Amino acid sequence: MRRALITALVVTAALLCGASPASAHPLPHSVVLLDVHETSVTAHLQLPAGDLELARRGEPISAYLAAHITPVTTDGRAWTVAIGDLAVGRAEQTSTGPYQEVVATATLTPPPGGDLRHFIFSYDVIVHQVVTHTVLVSVRQDWAAGRVESEAVQVGAIAIDSRTMTCRRWT
């Protein structure tokens, strides 16, 4: 299975990516907002329902998400992932028109000694299957590091490179 690997440089949060997220997307993309806490990271997921349905192929959503969000430390040790409550709502992004989205929360906890601000996100929800999909990852809050602005800072985009049909690794 292809893996989208993204190193979330949470502290500097200045990573620019080549998936041109600034240009309008023909279709709604996933939004992942990361909140860094003292001992864990909360990932708030906004997933367009249409593409999620294509991707999970009947697998229960929580189990599906857990299988495709597998962060590891930079030396390869797995984090634990707990998927919280799910909700369905209506959303709209620039030029997409309104659409249904699934909202979920995942609590990501590093193993003892794991760095909360330098880890490999290893996230390929939807994009492992729906190759026209894009995921934008942002850091919303990092209280401990002094990030409390209301505006999230984008740290990366996860998308398939259609020439090679593989995910790119952003570091």
- By CB under 8 A, name the one of 14, 58, 85, 90 that touches other proteins: 90
| Rounded Cα gap, residues 86 and 36, in angstroms | 20
Q: Is residue 165 involved in binding other proteins (CB under 8 A)?
A: yes
CA 76 to chain CA centroid, nearest Å: 19
Q: Is residue 89 involved in binding other proteins (CB under 8 A)?
A: no
Q: Beta-carbon neighbour count of residue 74 at 10 Å?
A: 11
Q: Beta-carbon neighbour count of residue 35 at 10 Å?
A: 18
The nearer residue to other proteins, 150 or 164, going by C-beta atoms, is 164
Question: What is the phi-psi region of residue 19: left when phi exceeds 0, alpha when psi lies from -120 to 50, beta otherwise?
Answer: alpha
Please check whether residue 158 is in contact with residue 123, taking contact to mean a CB–CB distance below 8 angstroms.
Answer: yes
**Which residues inside 93-152 make contact with other proteins, applying CB under 8 A?**
94-99, 129-133
- By CB under 8 A, name the one of 16, 24, 82, 144 that touches other proteins: 24
137 bridge partner residues:
32, 156
Size of site (CB under 8 A) for other proteins: 29
Q: Is residue 54 involved in binding other proteins (CB under 8 A)?
A: yes
The nearer residue to other proteins, 16 or 24, going by C-beta atoms, is 24
Q: Which residues bind other proteins (CB under 8 A)?
A: 20, 23-24, 26-27, 48, 50-51, 53-55, 90, 92, 94-99, 129-133, 161-165
